[in-house]
């Protein structure tokens, strides 16, 4: 699993996050990995991570719902 991946706002929109993720996937594959897992926020209010990972051929297989038993 690799994340979070982000780009400084001054350099966003240049495909840097996608290029970095693509390189990490290639290195992992070269090392024998056959599955990659990411856990991006990627909800409707923050869709960019989802677009990056889907653009790399990944697909959603589950959704994570954070839960806690903290007593405030």
The whole-angstrom distance between residue 71's C-alpha and the CA centroid of its chain comes to 31
Per-domain residue ranges of the chain: 14-28+41-59
pLDDT in tens, 6-60: 889 999 899 999 999 999 999 999 999 999 988 887 677 788 888 889 999 999 8
The number of beta carbons lying within 10 Å of the beta carbon of residue 51 is 13
Q: Which residue has the higher pLDDT, 70 or 3?
A: 70
């Amino acid at each position: 699993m690799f994340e979070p991946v982000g780009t400084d706002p001054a350099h966003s929109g240049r495909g840097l996050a996608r290029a970095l993720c693509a390189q990490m996937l290639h290195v992992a594959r070269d090392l024998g990995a056959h599955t990659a897992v990411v856990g991006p926020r990627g909800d409707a209010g923050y869709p960019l991570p989802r677009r990056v990972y889907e653009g790399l051929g990944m697909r959603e297989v589950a959704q994570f719902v954070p839960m806690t038993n903290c007593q405030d």
